[in-house]
Amino acid sequence: METIHMQPSQYRKLAGCTLFITGASRGIGKAIALKAAKDGANIVIAAKTAEPHPTLPGTIYTAAEEIEAAGGKALPCVVNVREEEQIISAVEKAVKTFGGIDILVNNASAISLTGTLETATKKVNLMMDVNVRGTYLTSKACLPHLRKSKNPHILNLSPPMNLNPIWFKNHCAYTISKYGMSMCVLGMAEEFRGEVAVNALWPKTAIHTAAMDMLGGAGIEKQCRKTDILADAAYCILTKPKSFTGNFIIDEVLLREEGVKDFDVYAIAPGHPLIPDFFLDVEIDTTAVKQKGYGAAQALKEEKTESAPAKPSGPVAETFRVIQGAMTEENVRSTQGIFQFELSGDGGGTWYIDLKNKGGSTGFGKPPGTADVVMSMSSADFVKMFTGKLKPTMAFMSGKLRIKGNMALAMKLEKLLTQLNSKL
């Protein structure tokens, strides 16, 4: 389904323009490519997947077929952005084929939502190489050609740099790598002001892609929007004059400013609550488009007040007592998992819910068997989660909840909570 919010006189603004898009064989990169292809744009698909992947959809060649079918011209190039020669060779091929490059979209990205001690060095290297170095080197290779274009743009899929420590503590390496992409925007927008527009785009909510399925498991898509919202927002940015530069744009905020009122068209399940994306404080109004510093001291103060324990020790013990009373054999049979909770703050420590062994049980201390899932959070957030005031997925995405172990079982617990909340 196509959603166009432009006036007829504004159609085909990207006709004849050449877009170099990294990671365009699937997901957000491909959605941006298809939107531009409808105008008759030339698309360089700079992505790794040449042979079908065992679990991920699409290759550079299947994406090329879709782009041509949508009305664009496609040039599929095998590019792993970790390899500078592959970037340079694809840029040369693009210039030779289409006569230049007008737009670069740095979309390729690697993710590992792991703490410092859990992140393997090869994963750290991957995120730094793809997200920061890949973005930097692809920009560097394209810039001499972009400077010759009439209305050149670089667009990085990266967030506003929110320095609230909550966004660093659970996945420090990933955050550094994404903010590295945003720093490229900050620096290059100023360096090439008047010549090339450089902006960042980030979604307000989780977006349904293969990556999101991998992170969130089955059923997560109902809490996501389609890639179309980012494609529409990207189109809007890339058709603005090059004087529009140095902005950190949130998709929904920009589209509202452009007059879009119906956001249900972008929902996978209209009316279903949506997960806010990483790096955006839900409590903070995200309408500010220009990058603003977020004082670390202020952030620390806010974080401390936010996770202040609800009441001394009582609520946690009481919550476990109520869970024990609400448990049924059916819950045990359908869940088959042991959950361990590492709670910080008043009434904290190690607690467990055993939904594997006969009758089920809860208690303080280590569980009566190896835990399938270990969840770490503050006591206050734990009580909120078990009384329906905080959804586990929301807690996970906003960094309040860390999960180690079997993600599918963690998702099962969320379903169980909905049933239990009526009793809590």
Catalytic residue IDs: 174
Distance CA 176, CA 132 (A): 9
In the block, which residue shows the tokens 């980012």? 230
Q: Quick one: tokens of 150?
A: 């009439």
Distance CA 29, CA 46 (A): 10
Distance CA 39, CA 14 (A): 6
Write the CB contacts of 252 (distance below 8 Å, at least 6 apart in sequence).
203, 204, 205, 229, 263
Crossing angle for the helix pair 228-238 and 27-37, to the nearest 10 degrees: 50
Distance CA 286, CA 30 (A): 26
- CB atoms inside a 10 Å sphere around CB 180: 19
Q: Quick one: tokens of 361?
A: 């049980």
Distance CA 371, CA 369 (A): 6
**C-alpha angle 265-233-45 in degrees, rounded to nearest 5:** 105
Distance CA 69, CA 71 (A): 5
The total number of residues shown for the chain amounts to 424
> Is the separation of the CB atoms in 77 and 44 below 8 Å?
yes
In the block, which residue shows the tokens 């379903």? 415
Distance CA 300, CA 310 (A): 18
> Is the separation of the CB atoms in 157 and 107 below 8 Å?
yes
- CB atoms inside a 10 Å sphere around CB 291: 17
> Is the separation of the CB atoms in 379 and 413 below 8 Å?
no
Closest by Cα among 195, 202, 197, 210 to 179: 202
Closest by Cα among 137, 254, 240, 132 to 202: 254
The SS3 of residue 25 is coil
